[in-house]
Amino acid sequence: MRKYLDIPLTLIVGLTLTVAMLWPLDAPPPAPEGSDKLVHLIAFAALAFPLARTGRLGLLSVFIGASAFGGAIELIQPMFNRSADVNDWIADTVGVIIGIGCGLLYRRLRKR
């Protein structure tokens, strides 16, 4: 992954997450118990990874921005016939931490 692709990739993932998490649903799709939190965790890890990997914007900025994005999505969801859940936001934030950790690990392994 080239250094200049981190921002476009993050924007694409962010747009995809926005559409997926705000798409109105009549009922939640059938899924195993707790899998929704896992989806949130993975999605937000994918959101944070590209910027954490390059480090161009700073890790604190990535953490605050991605976590705030998750919180904003949860606050907006009721306007789209979706439910807001603080546990989803917690899963988002844990995913951001994992994405940052993976980005740092990638950088460290890449230097070797």
Q: Kindly report the pTM of this predicted structure.
A: 0.91
- Joined together, the tokens standing for residue 60 give 């604190």
Closest CA to 80 of 22, 7, 30: 22
pLDDT tens-digit series, residues 24-81 = 887 777 878 878 899 999 999 999 999 999 988 899 999 999 999 999 999 999 999 8
Average pLDDT in the chain: 92
The pLDDT-based confidence of 1 (bands split at 50, 70, 90) is low
The pLDDT value recorded for residue 28 is: 73
Q: What's the rounded Cα separation, in Å, for the pair 65 and 79? A: 22
pLDDT tens-digit series, residues 78-108 = 999 888 999 999 999 999 999 999 999 999 9
pLDDT tens-digit series, residues 5-29 = 899 999 999 999 999 999 988 777 7
Q: Which phi and psi (to 5°) does residue 78 adopt? A: -60, -25
Long-range CB pairs of 26-34 (<8 Å, 24+ gap) are 26/81
Domain ranges of the chain: 33-111
